[in-house]
Amino acid sequence: EQGLALAGPVIVHAVTRKGAGYAPAEESPRNFHGTPPFEEETGMPRARPQTDSYSAVFGKQLLRLARQDSRIVGLTAAMLDGTGMEYLHEAMPDRCLDVGMAEQHAVTFAAGLAAAGMRPVVAIYSTFAQRAYDQWVHDVCLQNLPVVLVLDRAGLVGDDGPTHHGAFDLSYLRHIPNLTLMAPKDEAELCRMLVTALELPGPSALRFPRGAGPGVPPPEVPEALPVGRAEVLTEGEDVLVLALGAAVPRALEVCERLREEGLAATVVNARFAKPLDAELILDRAARIGRVVTVEESALAGGFGSAVVELLSDAGVEGVRVRRAGLPDRFVSHGDNARLLAECGLDAPALAETIRATAKSPGVVVSGALGRERGEGSAS
C-alpha cells in the first residue's frame, strides 16, 4: 500500500525463507525445490525409487574416478543435488565447484582448468546448458580441450514442463566440430561412457534422462567404449531399428513383442550420436532397406536426422527411413507416460511405426552396399 502511494518507480524487497511454516521444507529447502507427491507428516515422497537415479549413478561413479585421478574436478551451476555432484562435493569439496546460476561461467571455467592440465566434468541440466552454447563452441570445442559436459534431464522431464524438457541438446551440439556425443542405454553404460569421456583428448558430452534407469548394476571396473561403435542387440531382416540412449530399452522391448508376431527386427543401440557407427549403419540399412530411428529428443537436427544425412551422403538410395522423436513443438507438462504417448514414443505407437515401416516396400541387395532399386525411398 505504501508503494502504491508513492510517485515514480518503486521496488519492494520481500525477505522470505523457503519452506517457511513447514518444518521438513525449512530443514531441507533444497529437497523441496521440486517435489513429487509426499507424506505431509514427514515430507518423504510417497513412492520412492528402488534403484539409484541416473544422476546418483553418475555422481557415485565420478567420485570413484576422482579418487583414482587427481586431475578430475567437478563443476555445476547451482545444481549440486540435482546433478549428482553432491557425492564429490561432500567427499572432496576442494575438487567440486558450484559456480551458482552461471552456466556460461561454468563452461569457460572448465576450459581454463582443462588448458591447465585438469580433467573437468561439468554437470548441467540439458535445458540450462543452452545458455552456455557460445562458451562451449569458442572456449571448449574450438580449442579442442578435454572438457566433459554431462547433460542431466535430457529428454522428457514430466511435470517440470516445457521449460525443463531436454529436447534440443542433440540438435545444438551435434554440428560442433571436435565433439564426441553419446547417450547410455542403462546405468552400466553410463559408467562406461564417463570413463570413455575422461580418456578422450578432446571435448565430449553425454546425455541421460531424469529418474531411474532400467536397473542394470554398474560394473566394478567400467571399461572405456570404442568411440563411434554401436551395439547390435538383436538380429532380424524385416526392419532396422536404430535407437539412442533412454529410447533403447523401450525400442528393444517393443521389438521383442513384435518378434512374437513374426516381425524380426535388427535392434541397434547407437551409443554415439557423433560420430555415428557409419560402417554398421550403412551396411544394415542397405541390406534391410527399412529403417526406424528412435530418440527422446527433437527430431529436427537430432539423431534421426544424422542417420538420414549419413545415408544421403553415402549415396544409399531406395531405403525407407522413419524417425520417432519429439515433435516440432514445445511439449507440455504431465507425467512421462502421457507425454510419451502424445509424442508417439510409447510402446503402442512405436510398435505401429515399426510395423508400418517393416511392411513398406524396401530394397533387395547383394553385398554390403550393393542394391537393386525398389519402391522404398529415404524420407
Residues classed as catalytic: 18, 103, 131
Query: Which residue in this structure is represented by grid cell 549403419?
Result: 281
Residue type, 250: R
Neighbours of 155 (CB within 10 A): 29
Strand partners, 151: 124, 207
Report how far residue 165's alpha carbon sits from residue 156's, in angstroms, rounded to the nearest whole number.
5
All three cell numbers of 255: 521389438
Query: Which residue in this structure is represented by grid cell 551396411?
Result: 283
Which is nearest to 52 in space by CA: 208, 235, 172? Answer: 208
For residue 9, say if its preceding peptide bond is cis, omega within 30 degrees of 0. Answer: no
Report how far residue 100's alpha carbon sits from residue 80's, in angstroms, rounded to the nearest whole number.
10
Query: Which residue in this structure is represented by grid cell 564429490?
Result: 88
Contact 278, 310 (CB under 8 A): yes
Q: Report, in angstroms and rounded to the nearest whole number, the Rg of the chain calculated over CA atoms.
A: 23
Query: Which residue in this structure is represented by grid cell 552454447?
Result: 133
The DSSP line for 336-369 is HHHHHHHTT-SHHHHHHHHHHHHHS---B-SSSS
Contact 144, 202 (CB under 8 A): yes
What value, to the nearest 5°, has the Cα angle with vertex 150 and ends 148 and 154?
150
Report how far residue 236's alpha carbon sits from residue 290's, in angstroms, rounded to the nearest whole number.
11
